[in-house]
Amino acid sequence: MRIERVAVTYGELRSTGYPAFSNKRHEITLQALLQPGDTARSVKTRLRDLARRDVAIAFGDATEQDLDDLDIPF
């Protein structure tokens, strides 16, 4: 089997606001085409890390400065 593309979907659901609860969900899907020398496992790990940071930014846990790595092409 030959793997040519890796896709990762990461999302979080958070509940806040006791006693009036509010649920908020943020999710992102990232994909990458494998290049010679890439391994599916390393690309999956990299995409997962980027997705986690993006979701953290959506919740306000991180800043856009933490996302500079998305500007680097795979």
pLDDT for 32-56, tens place per residue?
Answer: 999 999 999 999 999 999 999 999 9
pLDDT at 23: 92
* Range of lowest pLDDT (7-11, 37-41, 55-59, 67-71): 67-71
User: How far, in Å, CA of 33 to CA of 17, rounded?
Assistant: 41
Q: How far apart are CA 54 and CA 60, in angstroms?
A: 10
Cβ-contact 6, 23 below 8 angstroms: no
- Ranges of H-type helices in the chain: 40-59
- Global pTM reads 0.77
Residue 43's pLDDT is: 95
- Number of independent structural domains in the chain: 1
Range of the domain at 28: 5-71
**The predicted structure's pLDDT at residue 47:** 96
User: Of the candidates 37, 28, 55, 39, which has an alpha carbon nearest to the alpha carbon of residue 6?
Assistant: 39
Range with the lowest mean pLDDT among 18-22, 38-42, 69-73? Answer: 69-73
